[in-house]
C-alpha cells in the first residue's frame, strides 16, 4: 500500500528552482530521506528503498551533503558490517 501526502507549492518556487511539479516532488522525497537518515530516524536501507535507488548510491548522495556513515561506535560499525 502506498501512502501519499500533499504539499502546497507556489508556482514561484517551481520557477525559481527551474523544475516541474513532478521533479519537485522527487526532490522533496530525496531530501526528506536524506534528512531523516542524517537525524538517525531511518536506516540507509529504508531510505534507499523509499526513493528506489541502491543503498550504496543513497549513501554516496547522503555523504555528499554531510551525512556521517558511522558515529565511531562499535554498534554502528557492527550494524554496517552486517549489511555488507
Confidence band (pLDDT; 50, 70, 90) for 41?
Answer: very high
pLDDT digits (tens, 9 = 90+) for 3-13: 888 999 999 99
Q: Domains in the chain: how many in total?
A: 1
The model carries a pTM of: 0.76
5 in a structural domain: no
Residue 2 is assigned to a structural domain of this protein: no
Residue 71's pLDDT is: 62
Please list the alpha-helical segments (H only) found in the chain: 11-17, 21-38, 44-51, 55-64, 74-82
Inside any domain, residue 4: no
- From the number of C-beta atoms within 10 Å of its C-beta (0-12, 13-18, 19+), residue 33 rates as buried
Residue 58 lies in a domain: yes
| All residues at 6 or more sequence positions from 61 whose CB lies less than 8 Å from its CB, including other chains | 30, 34, 53
Asked whether residue 59 is assigned to any structural domain, the reply reads yes
What digits encode the pLDDT tens for the residues 46-67? 999 999 999 999 999 999 998 8
What is the span of the domain harbouring residue 76?
11-82
- Does residue 66 sit within a domain? yes
Amino acid at each position: 500500500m502506498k501512502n501519499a501526502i500533499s504539499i502546497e507549492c507556489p508556482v514561484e518556487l517551481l520557477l525559481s528552482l527551474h523544475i516541474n511539479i513532478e521533479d519537485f516532488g522527487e526532490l522533496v522525497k530525496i531530501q526528506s530521506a536524506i534528512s531523516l537518515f542524517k537525524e538517525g530516524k531511518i536506516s540507509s536501507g529504508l531510505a534507499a528503498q523509499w526513493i528506489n535507488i541502491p543503498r550504496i548510491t543513497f549513501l554516496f548522495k547522503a555523504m555528499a551533503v554531510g551525512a556521517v556513515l558511522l558515529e565511531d561506535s562499535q554498534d554502528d560499525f557492527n550494524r554496517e558490517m552486517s549489511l555488507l
